[in-house]
Amino acid sequence: MTIKNQFKDKQIGIGVTGSIAAYKAAEIVSCLSQQGANVTVVMTAGAAKFVTPLTFQTLSHHKVIIDLFTEDYAFDPQHIALAEKLDALLIAPASGNIIGKIASGIADDALTTLVMSVQASRVIIAPAMNERMYLNPIVQDNIKRLKKQGYHFIEPAKGHLACGSGIGRLADFDTIITYLSKKV
C-alpha cells in the first residue's frame, strides 16, 4: 500500500527501540523516503543490537542519531533542532521500556530526549512486545496516561510473536503508514 506523495517534503522522525520488530522499521523508512519525506531515524542502543544504523542511514540518506553526545556535529542541541522541524515522530517499534520512560518523564538517551522536546500531539507510538509485557497493568497504565496527555497509539496486532503468539505484534505496515498519513 502506498499513499502517493502524501509524505512529500514532510519532516518525519522515526524512533526505533530494542524490539525484535526493529527490522520492520526499515520498510517504513524506505517507503517514506521513496515518497519524498525527509526522514531522520533516532535509535536506542537496544535497537542497534537488532538492526545496524547503516541500514537506516542507507534508506533515509541521513545520519542516524543514537547518541546525545556525538562529537562530529557542530554545536546544535539535536533534540531541540530536530523537534522544531518535525511534522511527526513515529516510534515503531515501541518497547515497554520506552513507553515507561516516556510516561515517567525520563529522558536519558537521544530518543527519549527528542520525545520530551516534541509536542505530544505529534508523537505516534506503535508498541511491539511480548503479550505478557503488553498486557502488564503497568504498561497499560502508562499507555492510558500517555493517551490522556495527547500521545497517539497504533494498537499492536495479534499474531506470531518471537515467543509464541498473542497480542503485541507490531501493527502491519499498511496500518502504520495509513495512520501516519492522517497525522501529517
**Residues annotated as catalytic (active site), given as ranges:** 163
Buried b (16+ CB within 10 A) or exposed e, 135-169: eeeebeebbeebeeeebbbbebeeeebeeeebbbb
Edge-to-edge strand list for the sheet holding 11-16: 38-43, 11-16, 88-94, 123-127, 152-153
The count of residues in the chain is 184
Contact 173, 1 (CB under 8 A): yes
